[in-house]
Structure 1
Amino acid sequence: MCKLRICITAEEFFPFPSGRLRRIYEVARRLAKDNEVHIYCQRYSETFKGVMDGIHLHGVGPFTARPSYPMRLSSALLMLPSILRNGKFDIINTNWLLPPLPSYIAAKLKRTPIILTSDGILWHHVEALHLHGYSMPSTIFGCMMEDIDVSLSYDAYIAVSKGARSELISMGVDPDKVFVIYNGVNLSFFDSIKVQERKEPTICYIGHLEARKNVLDLIRAFSIVQREISDAKLIIAGSGPLAKKARRMVKDLKLSDKVSFAGKVGFKKSAEIMKSSHLLVLPSLIEGFGLVLAEANACYKPVIAYDVPGVREIVKEGVNGYLVRPRNIQELADKIIKLLGDDELRRKMGEKGRRLIEKRFTWDRAAKETFKVYNHVLMNA
């Protein structure tokens, strides 16, 4: 197995808490053990440079704590000269939304094979579902960039789920070029977190507070749960454009003493919240994979989620959790009540979930399969 010089491009990078960024970091640091790995991304820290866990970091564009779309686009475009200055790479692996175009141009100029990793279509779904909370310019721009990304002819595509693969194919991508490589979970990290489960029946939500994640449905469902289980608690961890609306809804429903907002949390804190809770709920309307569900299962916690592509590849109905019809708030509440009221059922589902994660969703497996795709592309270049 020869050592490769690998270029990975992304808008952002670890430690921002998201499934996409966790994947890039976990796969990259494993590849870096036997290869030379360079990551180019928007500079979100004035100290973003040097080497971390064997990964060579390259921040491009001006530093800004809260970049706008024009700023993010300009940073992405600056990847092109930065990549070109850094010599010849064996392969380029880009992640959407904004980096694929400059990465593709760099690949063609350098005559380097290029792979696109997709964690699912977003903006076309936002438009189709008429989700509120996204501006019209952002939606139009997002759809345009998704169309551009898919229109480019890559040597291969990596999809994080079968659902993400189907979306690429529906947009015209050659099925023979799309490889499904699931995200993983760092089991040793979660096992190292030592916290006690709360005495009160506790539900947790961990994720960005935006329309597609749909936390407002969970708050509505929790108000129903309260009528049956008065001592139940809900922890909402995350930040985003719906934060104020979520807090206002909690106040209007007179749930302020039952719902706590943890704000934006890091990976350790999110793991502590999961482990101290009795179950995790993810009412997303759009998910490429839903990594937080796998992480909760890794903590021996059952999960409840809306039945959407990507999610249903993790959650097996009645085995490690429950799938609920999207926007069915009463059904969501009923499943929460059922799990909170049955200690033995939660224990069995949690154990089955952990075994499922150990078998199917590990970062070592994701890294090995990614490297196989790299070699497949190089052999056929």
Structure 2
Amino acid sequence: MKIGWVVPGFSAHEREWAIPALDHFARALAANNRLVIFALEYPYHRATYSFFGATVHALAGRHRGKVYAPRLWANTFAAMRAEHLQQPFDVIHAFWVNEPGWLAQTSARILRVPFIASVAGGELIALRALNYGGQLDWIERMMCDQVMRNANCVTVGSRYLQTIAKKWRADISVLPLGVDTARFTPRARSESAREIKLLNVGSLVPVKGHENLLEAVAQIPEASLEIIGGGFLKKDLARRATELKISARVSFAGKIAHDALAEKYRAADVVAQSSWHEAQGMAILEAAACGCAIAGTRVGILPELAEQGGAIVTEKFASEELRAAIKDAQARRAELGTRARAMVEQDYALNVVKEKWIALYAQMAQK
């Protein structure tokens, strides 16, 4: 099959991990299919290059400002049309139902190609207190409404997000992105440690709920916390850790190489999610693949892991509940880690999920 992806950004070369989940998926998909990727914003230069068998067209769009958007849209359609004339697409797939989805929808309609849209972030969310979510912007609302209405198929990465997406249409398919279970693997863990080594992986932005996590850590004297990820809240969070008198037990590692993440997961006792929203939560699946005990908020994929005994979830977004969930996960870490790994191998492994996507692409190509 010839498959076209429209994405906000993609890795500039084979040694980069811009959006790791998409990179893994692209590598797997391109092995037996003709995959062409249209990256709207990143890389920041116009280019066409190969990525493990896939062809990437970098459109270098939005960093030039919103006034450049019409030209970006025209350039994207021109590139998609040229590829289609070379060899017709069987299906076009957009990740994110705002601008990528709107551009893919418009192009697919003109080219008469079936179109899949994946809700991949906060496009359908409006958290005003956090200034987060695509529904806070009227242009994004318009784009999302059109895409959700017109796509031949809409997918989400979790049942949590399916519930939200069903406000737009009833037929929402749950089809997550997969995790590389050969890269993210467990190792034997000691049960005698008195200290609880907590790990959180996520950008330092309000929607990730790090302040609640810091307050939970303050209630667990035996816990230390490492936060991996960059963002504009680093100074504020460091200040809050000082106010809570836990700065000696909290470290901010910043961004680290994707290749180094597996070792971080393996070294942790509990991986904690404090987010107010997650579309899926690849960090949680990576941690589960590494056999970690996981505790956190009831968003993204975490409730599904918890339903089958692979994680502990909170009922409310409160530090006290997060503290209790972390303590519970620590006490049951061997059991939780074993179940989490088994669930990933069965339902979320890259090779398993890839076949489900290929089946969907083939089904859509018949329309």
What TM-score bracket applies, with the shorter chain setting the length?
A: 0.7 to 0.9
Question: Does structure 1 residue 155 correspond to structure 2 residue 152?
Answer: yes
Taking structure 1 as reference, are residues 63 and 146 closer, same or farther at Cα in structure 2, changes over 3 Å only? closer
Does 2:304 correspond to 1:313?
yes
Q: Please give the alpha-carbon distance, in whole angstroms, between the structure 2 residues aligned to 1:72 and 1:264.
A: 29
- The separation in 1 between residues aligned to 2:119 and 2:136, in whole angstroms, is 19
Deviations 1:58-80 (A, max 9, x none): 1002595xx76666786456322
Counterpart AA for 1:95:
F
Normalised to the residue count of structure 1, the TM-score between the two structures is 0.84
Corresponding residue for residue 11 of structure 1: 8
Contact 1:60 1:76 in 2 (8 A): no
**Per-residue CA shift, 1:335-369, capped at 9, x if unaligned?**
323444x3xx2112111111111111111122111
Cα 1:124–1:165 change in 2 (3 A) is closer
Aligned to 1:82: 79
Aligned counterpart, 1:189 = 183
Offset at residue 295 of structure 1 (A)? 1.1
Confirm whether residue 40 of structure 1 aligns to residue 38 of structure 2.
yes
Q: Taking structure 1 as reference, are residues 296 and 369 closer, same or farther at Cα in structure 2, changes over 3 Å only?
A: same
C-alpha distance in structure 1 between counterparts of 2:92 and 2:133, whole Å: 32
Deviation of 1:200 after TM superposition, in Å, equals 4.3
Cα separation, 2, equivalents of 1:69 and 1:272: 40
2:124/2:165 contact within 8 Å kept: no
Corresponding residue of 1:220? 215
What pairs with 1:98-177 in structure 2 (closer than 5 Å)? Answer: 98-119=99-120, 122-127=122-127, 130-134=128-132, 139-151=137-149, 153-171=150-168, 173-175=169-171
Equivalents in 2 of 1:210, 1:259: separation in Å?
A: 17
Task: Give the whole-Å Cα distance in 2 for the aligned partners of 1:70 and 1:273.
Answer: 42
Distance 1:214-1:76 versus aligned 2 partners, 3 A rule: farther
* Alpha-carbon distance in 2 for matches of 1:311, 1:375: 29
Residue identity opposite 1:336 in structure 2? I
- 1:211 to 2:201 alignment: no
Is 1:371 aligned to 2:362, yes or no? no
- C-alpha change, 1:267 and 1:126, in structure 2 (3 Å) is same
1:173-322 correspondence to structure 2 within 5 Å? 173-175=169-171, 178-191=172-185, 200-226=195-221, 229=222, 232-308=223-299, 310-316=301-307, 319-322=309-312
Cα distance, 1:134 vs structure 2: 4.4
Match of 1:324 in 2: 314
Amino acid at match of 2:334: R
Change (3 A) 1:272 1:139: farther
Summarize deviations over 1:277-318 as a string: whole Å, max 9, x none: 11100011212222211211111111001123543123337x
Q: Distance in 1 between matches of 2:247 and 2:30?
A: 47
State how far apart, in whole Å, the 1-side matches of 2:67 and 2:205 are: 20
5+ residue gaps, structure 2: none
* Distance (whole Å) between structure 2 residues aligned to residue 92 and residue 158 of structure 1: 13
Which of 161-170 and 290-299 deviates more? 161-170
Q: Relative to 1, partners in 2 of residues 1:33 and 1:258: Cα closer, same or farther, differing over 3 Å?
A: same
SS of match in other structure, 2:183 = helix
Quote the Cα distance in structure 1 between the aligned partners of 2:67 and 2:335.
Answer: 49
Distance 1:165 1:238, change over 3 A: same
Shift in alpha-carbon separation, 1:364–1:71, aligned structure 2, 3 A: farther
**Structure 1 residue 92 corresponds to structure 2 residue 111:** no
Structure 2 partner of 1:357: 344
Q: Give the match for residue 334 of structure 2.
A: 347
Letter in 1 for 2:299: V
1:12 positional shift? 1.3
Once residues 68 and 243 of structure 1 are traced to their aligned partners in structure 2, the CA distance between those partners, rounded to angstroms, is 26
Shift of 1:131: 2.8
Structure 1 residues 45-97: Cα deviation after superposition (integer angstroms, max 9, x where no partner): 54964211111111002595xx7666678645632222112223221111123
The question of whether the paired residues in 2 share the 8 Å contact of 1:202 and 1:233 is answered with: yes
TM-score (norm 2): 0.87
SS of corresponding position for 1:217: helix
Q: Aligned pairs, how many?
A: 357
Label 1:313 to 1:71 Cα distance change in 2 as closer, same or farther (>3 A). Answer: farther
Identity %: 20
One-letter code aligned to 2:160: G
